[in-house]
Structure 1
Amino acid sequence: MTPATKLTTYLKANPTAIGKVVDYDTAKDKLYPFDFTAANTDTDIDTIADSQKFSEWINTKLAAGNYRYGIGGYMEHRTIYARSKHFDTDGEPRRLHLGVDIWSDAGTRVYAPLDGTVHSFRDNNNFGDYGPTIILQHDLDGLQLFSLYGHLSRVSLHGLSVGQPISKNQQIATFGDINENGNWPPHLHFQLMFDMEGKAGDYPGVARFSEKDKWLKNIPDPNLILQFPK
């Protein structure tokens, strides 16, 4: 049985083990599905390259329909990473987004959706990078799973220690603002991994599109945990 199958089986058998990542009321909260592939002709690279203009564009989209969050991005082939040299690599730039983004205001609360411990944390302080990042480790009846939270506020890292126990639905962080979250409009990058490959405080959230099959084996769909409507 593959790790992905084990995860799906565990979550189906233990629905009460899953908590929330952000506050979300299915009865009243609306979600805006952002598309940052080449199919998006509603914005341009000049807007996306300017963090403040990009943030204003995001906010306008959410406010127009009274959306609580913007969401999307798992295994999406994005064009927006042209905004930063951080994603330029030899031969083929990184454009494949590996997690799910949840767009909302700076200060939005972030929770641990599963019991676990703090695996690692770091301020990945580069333009276009994660900024403050927390990675949790979870043991699901013997299945090892890691969850990553990127683009946080710097205060989110205060008081953390490796191995610190974390409970389901415990607040662990808040969304950071442009000046601390890697120069992005406020949002959370949420990602799951089966294997950290020896990394700590960081794990790729954007990869080469040609390597998609490889990444799919280690990075399951975060919506297994988020359970947002399709």
Structure 2
Amino acid sequence: MVLAVAMEKHRHLADYIKNHPENIGKVVDFDAETDRLFQLDLTAANKELTTGLINDTDLFNSWVIDKLAANKCRYGVGGYLEHRTIYAFSSHFDTEDEPRRLHLGVDIWGGAGTPVYAPLDGIVHSHQDNNHIGDYGPTIILQHNLDGLILYSLYGHLNRESLLALSVGMPVVRNQQIARFGEIEENGNWPPHLHFQLMFDIEGRRGDYPGVCKFSEMEKWQQNIPDPGLILQFPKAVNID
């Protein structure tokens, strides 16, 4: 029964996006005719991701910047259901049995201060500063009603100023700017980027929701967390140097 309900929600979301393309807005500024995306591989297959690199945020940030510049890309992108090695740098992702390494959102890597937009009409569900090393830092969660389907969208690694003008229940409209990418010092100690994630059930949480899970629990989390690419609608990213 639980699986059937989850599948129906996934179908509802896909149908809504297909039948109402005019209701789907942007998350970041991107022109498919002139801008390119770089596919960032943050798995063990990427041998450039040494322990020294991921443990030094400034070095990690320089690596991201160099990748985008070398490939003439506006943003780096990737991460949905990616089994990552980079979380080893923070105890935030450790558990007693199996560390959390499976990424549940899409990351968009770019410069601090990059504007973030609401892709759908909705309201501010909650927000808070998850101020821990490796965590989201400033985070916003929006709630949307898509012809009866309740969908939540999460925006993590923002700047603190993004939270100042928000209030719970405040309406937002498609393509309204709601935030900006945060600096390393305020975004959980990451190179500047946006963690964008969708959820059907917020499970009573406010201002926070897991963005990384145990690999062994992928199927369970995938039922509640659809592919953010359905909303982003990005073109294929390049992955050459």
Normalising by the smaller structure, the TM-score range is over 0.9
Residue 9 of structure 1 pairs with residue 7 of structure 2: no
CA RMSD in angstroms, aligned pairs only: 0.6
Distance 1:26 1:211 in 2: 35
1:111-190 pair list within 5 angstroms: 111-190=117-196
- Report the CA distance between 1:43 and its aligned residue: 2.5
- Matched to 1:208, the amino acid is K
Distance 1:2 1:208 in 2: 25
Residue 86 of structure 1 pairs with residue 68 of structure 2: no
3-state SS in 2 of match to 1:197: coil
Residue 38 of structure 1 pairs with residue 44 of structure 2: yes
Residue 26 of structure 2 contacts residue 117 of structure 2 at CA under 8 Å; is this kept in 1? Answer: yes
Residue 138 of structure 2 contacts residue 187 of structure 2 at CA under 8 Å; is this kept in 1? Answer: yes
Distance 2:165 2:105 in 1: 26
**TM-score normalised by L of structure 2:** 0.94
- Matched to 1:181, the amino acid is N
- Report the CA distance between 1:120 and its aligned residue: 0.2
Distance 2:149 2:165 in 1: 28
- Matched to 1:80, the amino acid is I
Distance 1:40 1:229 in 2: 22
Deviation per residue, 1:82-106 (Å, 9 max, x gap): 0100000110000000000000000
Distance 1:191 1:227 in 2: 14
Where in structure 1 do 4 or more consecutive aligned residues deviate above 3 Å? Answer: none
Distance 2:31 2:179 in 1: 19
**TM-score normalised by L of structure 1:** 0.99
Q: How many equivalent residue pairs?
A: 230
Deviation per residue, 1:99-149 (Å, 9 max, x gap): 000000000000000000000000000000000000000000000000000
Distance 1:126 1:87 in 2: 11
Distance 1:138 1:45 in 2: 40
Q: 1:100 is matched with which residue?
A: 106
Segments of 5+ residues of structure 2 without an aligned counterpart are: 1-6, 237-241
Distance 2:204 2:164 in 1: 23
Residue 219 of structure 1 pairs with residue 219 of structure 2: no
Segments of 5+ residues of structure 1 without an aligned counterpart are: none
- Matched to 2:36, the amino acid is K
Equivalent residue for 1:76, pick from 82, 85, 88: 82
Equivalent residue for 1:25, pick from 31, 37, 62: 31
- Matched to 2:223, the amino acid is K
Deviation per residue, 1:29-58 (Å, 9 max, x gap): 010000111111123111111111110111
Percent of aligned positions with the same letter in both sequences? Answer: 66
